[in-house]
Structure 1
Amino acid sequence: MTIKALLFDFDGTLLNTNELIIQTFMHVLNKRFPGQYSPKDCLKFIGPSLTQTFSELAPGEEEELIAQYRTWNEAHHDELITEYPDVVSTLEQLKAMGLKLAIVSTKRNETIQRGLTLLGANHLFDTCIGTDDVQNVKPDPEPVLLALSRLGIAKEEAIMIGDNSHDIEAGHHAGVRAAGVAWAIKGEAYLQQFKPDYMLQHMSDLVTIVKEG
């Protein structure tokens, strides 16, 4: 069936926020658990929501730790993010081909918009689904299904694209095809465990996939 919509994770997929996320976690964890975590340990915190992560690390202290996380993250956001090659140019090409584009993220909408502004890509997306919009975040299918509903697109006509297991699982749980990105910080081999339908070596691979249906 023809692909009519592409749903993108944001962090680590469209914008390289890995260093920002790792340094933010290290800032918070070094205060709460001095010397117990390394930057490598923080890789497993990339993907889940902040509530999920801090609920497991320090039950009952989630709100305080999330507040610390957001304060430091917002203060250092613009200096620590970088762009992946050809993301915006490929998004523009896909948009020109008539595709509907959406973001499905475990970030708040405000933070997504900040990143999109830095990318210069706000105008390319038909809708953004953040944590503000759902009760259940990825890997639950709710955010993916909400995006499809807003776009007016059938499950068979969409692909969910991301750098984490949560993205691939959310896509599959929602009944849509899923694509992993080889530039994921956790690596291509990690993503292959979750059986994505596609593995993107480069952002522009999406143009070929869409053309082939």
Structure 2
Amino acid sequence: MAILFDLDGTLVDTVPLILATVRHAFDGYGWCPSEAEWIAGIGTPLRTQLAGFARAPEDVELLQARYRRFWLAEHDRMTRCFPGALEVVERLAARGHPLGVVTAKVEEGAWRTLRHTGLDRSMGAVVGADSCARAKPDPEPVLLALSRLGRPPSEALLLGDSPHDLVAGRRAGVRTAAALWGACSAEALAAAEPDHRLATIGELLALVDAG
């Protein structure tokens, strides 16, 4: 079985970094989206989210530049795996499961996070917001990751912490598992109709073992 992971909020605890970066990007702009408003859009590409909150289309470039500068400066200090995530990923890889990441980050940013946390050693495919034409909740990123891993949807499971992850997985024809430790509420995840709900990432091992 191939296992696909979302990154932020699923494998790595970066929501505090994301929210701090948003506050920095909008500092001096006159207003800033609330934490709840931003969290509701996690799982969509950064530029798409910013466009939804910018007062004018021409402001998106400035907001994105401010966001990226702060993120690059603070990434290593504020990025860490969720407890047990690295160990679970390494055990799955050691058992021969093809692993991949499907994220709303651009690939360069995703690889930086993976290298910083040591997760990169286990990943056979990384699909970011700039890897294909459409982003989650469209199934294209999920199908691209599976193509790179050489596995069909019928032999795959996707773990994610946002409705965008789960809907993309369902549309791609893979089994889905909701990561209840992430940023989104249990109610929002339930509305996306996941096949499984996991309270901790350690529960993923038993789910995979059960087939």
Name the TM-score, length of structure 1 as normaliser: 0.93
2: CA distance between counterparts of 1:8 and 1:179? 10
The percentage of counterpart residues that share the same residue type is 37
1:42 aligned onto 2:42:
no
Aligned to 2:66: 68
Candidates 155, 158, 169, aligned match of 1:157:
155
Q: Deviations along 1:24-65, whole A, 9 cap, x unmatched?
A: 11111232233x543344322322211211222222322222
For 1:9, give the aligned amino acid.
Answer: D
Is contact 2:80-2:117 (8 Å) kept? no
After TM superposition, the runs of 4+ consecutive aligned structure 1 residues lying more than 6 A away are none
Aligned to 1:120: 118
1:53 aligned onto 2:49:
yes
1:130 aligned onto 2:135:
no
Q: Which moved more, 1:198-207 or 1:14-23?
A: 198-207
Candidates 8, 13, 18, aligned match of 2:10:
13
Trace 1:189-208 onto structure 2 (pairs within 5 A): 189-208=187-206
Is contact 1:11-1:17 (8 Å) kept? yes
Q: Which moved more, 1:188-197 or 1:55-64?
A: 55-64
Q: Secondary structure at the match of 1:102?
A: strand
2: CA distance between counterparts of 1:152 and 1:39? 38
Gapped regions of structure 1 (runs ≥ 5): none
Q: Secondary structure at the match of 2:83?
A: coil
1: CA distance between counterparts of 2:148 and 2:189? 28
Q: CA deviation at 1:91?
A: 0.7
2: CA distance between counterparts of 1:170 and 1:95? 23
For 2:158, give the aligned amino acid.
Answer: M
With over 3 angstroms needed to count, the CA separation of the structure-2 counterparts of 1:56 and 1:41, relative to structure 1, is closer
Is contact 1:10-1:104 (8 Å) kept? yes
For 1:51, give the aligned amino acid.
Answer: R
Q: CA deviation at 1:166?
A: 0.5
Q: CA deviation at 1:67?
A: 1.4
Trace 1:88-107 onto structure 2 (pairs within 5 A): 88-107=86-105
Candidates 9, 14, 27, aligned match of 2:24:
27
Q: Which moved more, 1:146-155 or 1:61-70?
A: 61-70
Is contact 2:43-2:103 (8 Å) kept? no
For 1:105, give the aligned amino acid.
Answer: T
Q: CA deviation at 1:129?
A: 0.6
With over 3 angstroms needed to count, the CA separation of the structure-2 counterparts of 1:31 and 1:123, relative to structure 1, is same
Is contact 1:144-1:170 (8 Å) kept? yes
Q: Secondary structure at the match of 1:75?
A: helix
